[in-house]
Amino acid sequence: MTWQYLTLRIKASGFFGVNLDYDEMNDKLNALGREGWELTSGFDRSKRNGISGEVVLILKRPGA
């Protein structure tokens, strides 16, 4: 079986980079799930001194 992969980058906002729009993130993930994508992992990317710059989500689905 082959796989397709998708990297979804979600920017954090706010002075300390801690604000994420969870409703928007859930909407995106649910829409992608309806297209057959499955979330496999996620991690935070820091800008500096532990301040979040973005969250990166990795998704996969069976390839053609």
Q: Domains of the chain: which residue ranges?
A: 3-62
Judged against a pLDDT cut of 70, whether residue 16 lies above it is answered with no
What is the DSSP annotation of 7-41?
EEEEE-BSTTS-B--HHHHHHHHHHHHHTT-EEEE
Residues 45-58 have pLDDT tens digits of 876 666 777 889 99
Average pLDDT in the 28-41 region?
96
Q: Note the pLDDT of residue 26.
A: 92
Residue 18 or 55, more confident: 55
Average pLDDT in the 6-35 region?
84
Mean model confidence pLDDT for the chain:
86
Residues in the chain: 64
